[in-house]
Amino acid sequence: MLKFLKLTATICIMSVPIYADTASLGRLATSAEVNAWNIDVRPDGLGLPVGSGSVAEGEEIFVEKCAACHGDFGEAVDRWPVLAGGQGTLTDDRPVKTVGSYWPYLSTVYDYVYRAMPFGNAQSLSPDEVYALVAYILYVNDTVDDEAFILSNNNFLDMPQENSEGFFMDDRATVEYPIFTRNVCMNNCKKTAEIILRAAVIDVTPEETAAKVIEAKTKSEIEINLDDELIEEPIIEVLNQELVTAGTKIFKKCKACHKVGEKAKNGTGPSLNGIYLADGAQVEKYKYSKALRSASESGLVWDDLTLRAFLTKPKKFLKGTKMSFSGLKKEKDLDAIIEFLKLYSQ
């Protein structure tokens, strides 16, 4: 035991001079190694590589490498992050925080995509591919409206972000810290705690409640007594409740951009209230694509036939549309979403 302790002490004593003079570990990193590590991009553009990419190129890359998690147009799949929509919701009870509504700097988008995406194959994208993907993300957030738009290191800093003024420097050291480091007063303390507010999830309609809403909306006749004359007038079309329920689930693919219901507002896409049998560009104060405005002026009406054709392949039905959704493939899904839209058009 004594011999073991003596040996340990000898090793420690011999080690001290070595670490005192120099660590004698490793070597200086090469320029290539430093450059491989130094890939961050700052809000002022420092670190942006030379390159460019178009919206159209970005869409192809996005569908191939990103849509499995983030959806075809940034609406998200399951619980993966939503990338598009949410503009104007940051003051709502349940804000939708996306690249378009929340992120203050576009440099963060480039930096994160280049550094960490695609999931499972990080840093496999070239600078041009990243520029194209960021351009496509701008497109689905309606920041740019032309598929031919090209994002590059030259115009990168000119791209606006809606929430660019929504952040400020961390002031906790001078504001919050002094408040929470004061001496705590322990006199006249409350004997019991009273719950005065509870957390609540709003804007969620259970299926049984939705069924009641559908039933109320699908009355086939309304009797009106006018000047003592009984008039029976069919006002509301009878809807297929099973299809409406199925359409409610399918509409989750659309919610990132489109809203329906009493509080529906325009977002990346227009509100879809009243769309059935309405003109092509029926929503006021929404900036439609030139293609859709032109089609509307030429008599486009959203009926069963046109809705089905558009939702099957939007870009084929209307060349130049801003809607990047690739389309619904199953007839039963098309039946369901059209029936769902009818519900909010009565």
pLDDT level of residue 30 (50, 70, 90 thresholds): very high
Give the mean model confidence (pLDDT) for residues 132-159.
94
For 273-312, what is each residue's pLDDT tens digit? 999 998 888 888 888 888 888 888 889 999 999 999 999 8
Same domain? For 232 and 320 the reply is yes
Span of 70-79, 190-199, 250-259 with lowest mean pLDDT? 190-199
Model pLDDT, residue 237: 64
Same domain? For 237 and 313 the reply is yes
Gap between the Cα atoms of 209 and 197, Å rounded:
25
Which residue from 244, 245, 248, 266 is spatially nearest to 257, judged by alpha carbons?
Answer: 266
Span of 207-216, 222-231, 309-318 with lowest mean pLDDT? 222-231
Span of 65-79, 95-109, 200-214, 219-233 with lowest mean pLDDT? 219-233
Model pLDDT, residue 256: 72
pLDDT level of residue 24 (50, 70, 90 thresholds): confident
Q: Is residue 28 part of a domain?
A: no
Q: Is residue 3 part of a domain?
A: no
Gap between the Cα atoms of 53 and 148, Å rounded:
10
Most confident of 13-17, 52-56, 222-226, 246-250: 52-56
Q: Is residue 197 part of a domain?
A: no
First vs last Cα of the chain: how many Å apart?
A: 91
What the block records as the tokens of 322 is: 């801003």
Q: Is residue 188 part of a domain?
A: no
Same domain? For 213 and 311 the reply is yes
Span of 148-152, 205-209, 259-263, 297-301 with lowest mean pLDDT? 205-209
Same domain? For 247 and 146 the reply is no
Q: Is the pLDDT score of 193 beyond 70?
A: yes
Give the mean model confidence (pLDDT) for residues 315-332.
82
Same domain? For 138 and 224 the reply is no
Same domain? For 144 and 230 the reply is no
Same domain? For 154 and 212 the reply is no
Same domain? For 149 and 218 the reply is no
Same domain? For 239 and 147 the reply is no
Same domain? For 330 and 220 the reply is yes
- Domain that includes residue 109, residue range: 37-158
Q: Is residue 245 part of a domain?
A: yes
Gap between the Cα atoms of 323 and 311, Å rounded:
10
Model pLDDT, residue 216: 55
Query: How many structural domains does the chain have?
Result: 2
Residue where a domain terminates, one of 120, 139, 158: 158
Q: Is residue 125 part of a domain?
A: yes
Q: CATH number for the domain including 103? A: 1.10.760.10
Residue where a domain terminates, one of 126, 158, 190: 158
For 90-122, what is each residue's pLDDT tens digit? 998 889 999 999 999 999 999 999 999 999 999
Instruction: List phi, psi (to 5°) of 299.
Output: 110, 10
Q: Is residue 217 part of a domain?
A: yes
Residue where a domain terminates, one of 129, 158, 187: 158
- Stated pTM of the model: 0.52
Gap between the Cα atoms of 96 and 114, Å rounded:
24
Same domain? For 215 and 278 the reply is yes
Helix axes 241-250, 331-343, angle to 10 degrees: 100
Q: Is residue 32 part of a domain?
A: no
